[in-house]
């Protein structure tokens, strides 16, 4: 692919076959990164985590309780009411 050819990260919209046979969902994209970029990516993910953002982003839906995530984001709201 492009990442192997150029040595740079590549982001692409999946083709029909990747969606049909690879299980890639309609709202997903594909990213390929050469190994030399991994340390910087891990540093970025650690910085996101330090600021309260997790990756991958956990989905919230009817089958899960959003309270755990919302309580972290809106912890100050409860303190203001008291």
> Which pLDDT tens digit goes with each residue over 40-66?
999 999 998 898 887 777 666 666 777
pLDDT band at residue 7 under the 50/70/90 scheme: very high
Neighbouring C-alpha atoms within 13 Å toward the C-beta of 22: 12
The CB-side HSE value for 75 (13 A sphere, CA atoms) comes to 5
pLDDT of 67 reads 74
Average pLDDT over residues 11-35: 91
Tell me what the mean pLDDT of segment 18-27 comes to.
Answer: 89
């Amino acid at each position: 692919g492009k990442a192997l050819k150029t040595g740079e990260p590549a982001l692409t919209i999946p083709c029909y076959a990747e969606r049909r046979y690879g299980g890639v969902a309609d709202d997903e994209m594909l990213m390929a990164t050469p190994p030399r970029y991994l340390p910087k990516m891990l540093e970025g993910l650690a910085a996101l985590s330090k600021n309260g953002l997790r990756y991958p982003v956990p989905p919230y839906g009817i089958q899960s309780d959003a309270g755990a995530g919302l309580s972290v984001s809106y912890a100050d709201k409860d303190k203001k009411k008291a």
